[in-house]
Amino acid sequence: MDMSVFDLFKIGIGPSSSHTVGPMVAARRFLLDCAPLDDVVAVTAELYGSLALTGVGHATDKAVILGLMGETPQEVDPPGVDALLAEAEARGELRLLGIQPVPFTRALNLLFHKTENLPEHPNGMRFTLRRANGTETSKVYYSIGGGFIRAEGEHAAVAEPGVAPVPYPFDTMADLLRHGLRSGLTIPRMLRANELARMTEEELDAGLDRIWRVMHGCIAHGLETAGQLPGGLNVKRRAANLWKQAQGADRANALPHDALNGVSLYAMAVNEENAAGGRVVTAPTNGAAGIIPAVLKYYAEDCKPVDPVTGVRVFLLTAAAIGMLCKRNASISGAEIGCQGEVGVACAMAAAGLVAALGGTNLQIENAAEIGIEHHLGMTCDPIGGLVQIPCIERNGMGAVKAITAASLALKGDGTHFVSLDDVIETMRQTGADMQAKYKETSLGGLAIHVVTVNHAAC
């Protein structure tokens, strides 16, 4: 497994990891791959498949332009994005990587091919630049889910020379369980050992702690921010008002499930932040970014851990292991296998992380993850208006509650279970392959066509 915990958990910007984060990274990488740029006189970006069909709703157009300007998802200032783009559009010019000026307008230089797909993935994009001598360079990239990108013909990354092999390599959960039996280590201990082949203890812990700080801050901001989400659906943010009600004195109509109600609101708060283009952590995608933070907050505050700092690190390492397995052996791209690969995988990651943080065994961790995916199998990705709002925001709230239920079921058992995690991941992959394309982040089927919106024409 050639992934790190920090590949799964990336600090970025909403509303979509595959449609916003990935295209921004790809646009910037294209220019870096083509450097030097001092004689470039024109650049064009073309979007295909799902990126074209739901690109406007997912801010793919904005992300590509920002990437060409040299911005990165982790460093771009979310509140300043619209002003930055408006200034560039008014000038009719972009500064490639912030340096080389070229003429650029969305209408002429950003093309949407809604009826065409590139061969390797539904999220395809082609960038072309022209130099002063008339020569052109064109490259194709794919946004393959979770903010990961791949150039055309590019396969799994090859380890750099001199990089030490990890002590517990794994491609399946069966591999991890065998390592655990031989070493006597838990899954998070093995993941920590693998990460330490790449970095120091201090770097690993600082990185994990930063991920949690950003997640926690995203929840806090979402719970205090009201208003209306952008995009044309006129969806009101609900988490802040519902949270205020939950803290109020008038609780006559409250249901006796305060902790779980809070968890669903935490998740919704994050995904409202994501829908508004705010700062979020891809976990493992933006569309499912609320589930892991919500369950982590539940663990840190409602489970009363003796050492929450260590527990959060254990949670994140374990969750990352499950995400790595799902990405490697199936997909975390809604455009490829539907929302089962986003909300379903996030639910599994959160369930496994919670079990590990509460001291569960390796078999109980596997059981919790398997339950999390199993009960999302077949979930489609059919966002109304191409926006990460309906049904995405509520799905995160439901997915967080399901994760806690899955963890509870696993912890109450001895770890024995009928369906293995590897089997359910393969089932998810096959289910996604059988799913019609109109249900996979194209907004051509399901809820997206049964609810009339003003945004359809734009998307």
What strands lie across the sheet with 40-48, from one edge to the other? 110-113, 40-48, 123-131, 136-145, 148-151
For residue 3, pLDDT beyond 70: yes
CA distance 265 to 288: 14
Q: Please choose, from the candidates 293, 425, 424, the residue with its C-alpha nearest in 3D space to the C-alpha of residue 350.
A: 293
Please, which pLDDT band fits residue 144 given cuts at 50, 70 and 90? very high
Is the distance from CB of 47 to CB of 19 less than 8 angstroms?
Answer: no
Cβ 179 vs Cβ 105: under 8 Å:
no
Structure confidence by residue, pLDDT tens digits, 209-232 = 999 999 999 999 999 999 999 998
> What's the pLDDT at 259?
74
Decide if pLDDT at 251 tops 70: no
List, for residues 20-40, the tens digit of each pLDDT value. 999 999 999 999 999 999 999
DSSP 180-210: HHHH---HHHHHHHHHTTTS-HHHHHHHHHH
Q: Is 0.85 surpassed by the pTM of this model? A: yes
Q: What pLDDT, on the 0 to 100 scale, is given for residue 453?
A: 54
Q: What is the pLDDT of residue 459?
A: 36
Q: Inform me whether the pLDDT recorded for 252 exceeds 90.
A: no
What percent of the chain has pLDDT above 90? 87
Which is higher by pLDDT, 452 or 70?
Answer: 70
**Structure tokens that stand for 39 in this block:** 């004689």
**How far is 193 from 206, CA to CA, in rounded Å?**
16
Distance of CA 427 to the CA centre of its chain: 21
> Is residue 253 over pLDDT 90?
no
**For residue 155, what pLDDT band results from cuts at 50, 70 and 90?**
confident
Tens-digit pLDDT profile for residues 336-380:
999 999 999 999 999 999 999 999 999 999 999 999 999 999 999
* Partners of 128 in the β-ladder: 44, 138
For domain 19-143, the CATH class is alpha beta
Tens digits of residue pLDDT in 178-218: 999 999 999 999 999 999 999 999 999 999 999 999 999 99
pLDDT at 160 over 70: no
pLDDT attached to residue 254: 53
Q: CB–CB of 2/156 below 8 Å?
A: yes
Class of CATH domain 173-450:
mainly alpha
**5: pLDDT strictly greater than 90:** yes
The pLDDT of 444-454, averaged and rounded, is 79
Distance from C-alpha of 221 to C-alpha of 195, rounded to nearest angstrom: 31
Span 441-446, average pLDDT: 91
- Average pLDDT over the chain, rounded to whole? 92
Check: CB of residue 137 under 8 Å from CB of residue 329. Answer: no
Tally Cβ neighbours within 10 Å of residue 67. Answer: 27
Q: Which residue has the tokens 């949407």?
A: 112
DSSP category for residue 80: G
| Angle of the 362-374 helix axis to the 173-183 helix axis, nearest 10 | 170
Instruction: Provide the pLDDT for residue 161.
Output: 42
Higher pLDDT, 247 or 414: 414
49 beta partners: 123
Predicted confidence at residue 154, as pLDDT, reads: 85
Does pLDDT of 43 surpass 80? Answer: yes
According to the model, what pLDDT value does residue 407 have? 97
User: Is the sign of the CA dihedral 36, 98, 17, 366 positive or negative?
Assistant: positive
Report which of 113, 123, 78, 105 is spatially closest to residue 214, judged by C-alpha positions: 78
- Note if the bond before 23 is cis, omega within 30 degrees: no
For 310, how many CA atoms within 13 A lie in the half-sphere containing its CB? 6
Whole-angstrom distance, CA of residue 404 vs CA of residue 411: 10
Q: Do domains 19-143 and 173-450 have the same CATH topology?
A: no
Task: Provide the pLDDT for residue 164.
Answer: 66
- Mean pLDDT along residues 412-438: 95
- Write down the pLDDT at residue 162: 46
Domain ranges of the chain: 19-143, 173-450
CB-CB neighbours of 247 under 10 Å: 10
Q: What is the pLDDT of residue 209?
A: 98
